[in-house]
Amino acid sequence: MSEIWSALGKAMVLIADFDPDLVEIIGLSLRVSLTAVLIAAVIGLPVGAAVALFRFPGRPVLVVLINALMGLPPVVVGLIVYLLLSRAGPFGVFNLLYSPTAMIIAQAILIGPIVAALTRQTVEDLWQEYGEQLTSFGVGPGRAVWTLLWDGRFSLLTGVLAGFGRASAEVGAVMIVGGNIDHLTRVMTTSIALETSKGNLEIALALGIILLIIALGINASAYAIRDVAYRTES
Amino acid sequence: MTLASLLRAGLAALLLTATFASPGGAQERSVRMLSTTSTENSGLLSYLLPIFESKTGIRVHVVAVGTGQALRGARNGDADVLMVHDKASELKLIADGHGIERREVMYNDFVIVGPRDDPAKIGGTNDAISALQMIKKSGAVFVSRGDDSGTHKAERRLWRAAGIEPEGRSDPWYREAGSGMGATLNIAAGMNAYTLTDRGTWLSFRNRRDLEILVEGDPPLFNQYGIMLVNPAKHPHVKAKEARALIDWITSPEGQRAIGKFTVEGRVLFIPNFRAKGGS
């Protein structure tokens, strides 16, 4: 128990010191995970909504597939992306392995299904509620995609935040495709793994506490934005 | 319509990645080295490489993984330089044409660590092989890396020399961690078990609890590191010039002296032993 308290103290010292290495690591973590979330949202939101509103052959299979992909282990995603980006792999010529771009790709693949699956459920529920009304106004599923995405934006924000949570917390994928290279691909979670393997459990835990504080900050600001948006509307 | 917007979304995403992910600033000269966790975790590379970087202006990007993964990466051409410690696999890599110009750089040593109360009574023996036999006889728990790393392979060689081939399935006292050295030490510390570790990782390891060094200094415990160039003839993108500069520097009198000066807790960890004609 005393280790946890001293880790808490260490975390405060690390934050107060504004250690440039730590700032760099936090910056890269945010850059990678936020970019991955953006990509996952740009692809996952329309895909999820389209699956909710259109009826096409193979749709149930797609729904099950997207739901199942939510459970993909990060290390498997990392391995697949590694094999694709490796010099010996199909995209080797782009020289992307062991770069932040590789980490973004891996995390986007990891969280895309989460955003898509949660979007599908939200939009499907909205369609059940307003579908008849929309149809009576002559709004078909094609236009309804955007209407319902906009309508459900507050619920969808939770899905996007869930995706961000998974991205910023995972270590398996970024470790394999990023390589935990100092000053290049080292992020919060790979630093925590490295410090743990050095037996520096307190520093590792201190970094974990800082990661938690960042996650709290991002979720709090998302909540605040949502709150303001609600009030200006009503 | 939906398809078109999907395509547009995909394109936007790609563009975004490109803008976000492109490394800022001018293109710096750099070289990528696949190495083992033992050189990174001990702090050797973060002491050694800045000297080389300030001298040449070439940045070294270290990817520290187990020897098995490092060799695989070299085979795929995912790095320019390889520095590992499993001579048999290194020579095989060269025979297969993926590595060239191998040089022996330095050696360090393994130690057997275990609980202070030492149920197998191996403390004081200088003989690693008989120490392993005593561990087996006592039934005390031994934690193996179990990850096909250089250290794991060295450990398996020692067991073979002791006439024992422990298997995690049939020998409950033999636990395969399937993890890196630090993680394995964390497990051994938690279980109060014996394990084999390189001295570097051990000295810089901060979670020893009841573990201490019990056997050391036996010649079978010495551990040779080799450095080599990933073959540019097979992998044309390899930065041969920068990579050779690194290899030349590490095996130069200056680089060798720097290795010999690196200490943790006052102990020299890696003994430089490059000999101009010692390479193969």
Superfamily of domain B29-108+224-272: Periplasmic binding protein-like II (3.40.190.10)
The pTM for the full model equals: 0.85
- What letter represents residue A14's amino acid? L
Q: What is the pLDDT confidence band of residue A229, given thresholds at 50, 70 and 90?
A: confident
Contacts of A43 in chain B (CB under 8 A): 6, 9-10, 13
CATH architecture of residue range(s) B109-221: 3-Layer(aba) Sandwich (3.40)
Bridge pairing between strands B263-264 and B271-272: unpaired
Contact between chains at A198 and B206 (C-beta distance less than 8 A): yes
Contacts of A198 in chain B (CB under 8 A): 41, 182, 204-206
Q: What is the pLDDT confidence band of residue A234, given thresholds at 50, 70 and 90?
A: low
Q: Residue B227 belongs to what H/E stretch? A: strand B222-230
Interface of A with B in 187-216 (CB under 8 A): 194, 196-201
- What is the interface pTM, i.e. ipTM, of the complex? 0.81
Chain B contact present for A86, CB below 8 A: yes
Q: pLDDT of A121-139, one tens digit each?
A: 999 999 999 888 888 888 8
Interface of B with A in 17-76 (CB under 8 A): 17, 20-21, 23, 32, 37, 41, 46, 61-65, 73, 75-76
> Residues A45, A156: contact at Cβ < 8 Å?
yes
Q: Give CATH 3.40.190.10 domain extents, chain B.
A: 29-108+224-272, 109-221
pLDDT digit string (tens) for chain B, length 280 residues:
444 554 455 545 554 554 444 444 446 799 999 999 888 888 899 999 999 999 999 999 999 998 889 999 999 999 999 999 999 999 999 999 999 999 999 999 999 999 999 999 999 888 999 999 999 999 999 999 998 888 999 999 999 999 999 988 889 999 999 888 999 999 999 999 999 999 988 988 989 999 999 999 999 999 999 999 999 999 999 999 999 999 999 999 999 999 999 998 888 899 999 987 644 4
- Which of these, B78, B77, B94, lies nearest to B86 by C-alpha position? B94
Q: pLDDT of B206-240, one tens digit each?
A: 899 999 999 999 999 999 999 999 999 999 999 99
The pLDDT of A209-222, averaged and rounded, is 91
- Which of these, B150, B33, B31, B32, lies nearest to B82 by C-alpha position? B33
Q: Which residue ranges form the domains of chain A, and what is each CATH number?
A: 2-233 (1.10.3720.10)
pLDDT value of position B19: 46
Q: Output the CA torsion sign for A161, A155, A222, A11.
A: negative
Count CA atoms closer than 13 A to B71's CA, side-chain side: 21
pLDDT value of position B150: 87
Distance, CA of B83 to CA of B274 (rounded, Å): 13
Q: pLDDT of A6-58, one tens digit each?
A: 888 888 888 888 788 889 999 999 999 999 999 999 999 999 999 999 989 99
